């Protein structure tokens, strides 16, 4: 148990669907992240939230929309996705304290876009 | 800009043999270095990290890594691997801390009997 949970674990959606990925951290951390993991490519940082405010957005297409209602929850809203968006989406959290600390990862949501 | 190169996409090895997974990085400033492991159907787990001090870093599960500034490398080693070490291993670098991790493409370690 890593303390970071993600639901659903698997998701299949059509290009016209709207769905949301959910992440919850039980570690009392104040920063949360979304990563995209595609085969044969490095993990790509998509979004960073610190103290519930977005602090980094690495030029992610607008069909991905994050939401961080509080420090324990993070959502990734999906709409009109493309087949190339199929990947493993990982959530992570960490405690921002001015020191370098560890990011704790969830198990991921395996997304398939048809 | 920083980058990470993991030279081997796959490393096959027999059980109880030693292994080294290679990682090279590029950065214009001082860096922090990390190795993460990903077991099948799981998220990433931190194996070890180099922040400062001793260049030889020991991590969990018997792994260690050595920071070599002149060669810009942070290779991961284990003297004797187990079947259970079969997983994908990711090297990562940061020049400002955890929120700016840049990952390599990963190395799949395949341990066979």
| pLDDT, greater one: A67 or B1 | A67
pLDDT digits (tens, 9 = 90+) for B8-39: 999 999 999 999 999 999 877 778 899 999 99
Using only the alpha carbons of chain A, give its radius of gyration. 13
Does residue B105 sit at the A interface (CB-CB below 8 Å)? yes
Please report the pLDDT score of residue A2 as a whole number: 56
C-alpha distance from B103 to closest chain A C-alpha (Å):
6
Q: Which of A104, A105, A110 should we substitute to test contact with B (largest number of B Cβ atoms within 10 Å)?
A: A105
Does residue B8 sit at the A interface (CB-CB below 8 Å)? no
Please report the pLDDT score of residue A108 as a whole number: 95
Please report the pLDDT score of residue B99 as a whole number: 61
Cβ-Cβ contacts under 8 Å, B100 against chain A: 45, 56
Over chain A, what is the mean pLDDT?
90
pLDDT digits (tens, 9 = 90+) for B52-80: 888 999 999 999 999 999 999 999 999 99
- Contacting residues for B81 by C-beta, under 8 A, at least 6 apart: B13, B15, B16, B17, B18, B19, B109, B111
* Inter-chain CB proximity B44 and A107 less than 8 Å: no
pLDDT digits (tens, 9 = 90+) for A51-61: 878 877 778 99
C-alpha distance from B82 to closest chain A C-alpha (Å):
22
Cβ-Cβ contacts under 8 Å, B101 against chain A: 43, 45, 103
Q: By three-state DSSP, how is residue B61 classified?
A: helix
Among B2, B92, B93, smallest CA distance to B38 is for B92
Cβ-Cβ contacts under 8 Å, B102 against chain A: 42
């Amino acid at each position: 148990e890593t303390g970071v949970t993600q639901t659903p674990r698997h998701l299949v959606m059509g290009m016209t669907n709207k769905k949301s990925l959910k992440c919850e951290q039980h570690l009392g951390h104040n920063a949360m992240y979304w990563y995209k993991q595609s085969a044969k490519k490095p993990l790509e940082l998509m979004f960073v939230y610190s103290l519930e405010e977005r602090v980094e957005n690495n030029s992610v297409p607008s069909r991905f929309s994050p939401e961080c209602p509080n420090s324990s929850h993070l959502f990734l809203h999906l709409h009109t996705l493309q087949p190339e968006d199929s990947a493993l989406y990982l959530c992570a959290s960490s405690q921002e304290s001015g020191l370098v600390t560890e990011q704790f990862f969830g198990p991921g949501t395996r997304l398939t876009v048809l | 800009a920083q980058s990470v190169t993991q030279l081997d996409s796959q490393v096959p090895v027999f059980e109880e043999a030693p292994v080294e997974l290679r990682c090279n990085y590029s950065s214009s400033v001082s860096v922090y270095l990390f190795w993460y492991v990903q077991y099948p159907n799981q998220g990433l787990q931190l194996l070890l990290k180099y922040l400062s001090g001793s260049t030889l870093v020991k991590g969990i599960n018997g792994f260690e890594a050595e920071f070599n500034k002149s060669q810009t490398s942070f290779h991961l080693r284990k003297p004797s691997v187990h079947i259970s070490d079969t997983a994908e291993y990711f090297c990562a670098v940061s020049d400002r801390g955890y929120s700016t991790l840049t990952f390599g493409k990963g190395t799949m370690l395949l341990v066979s009997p």
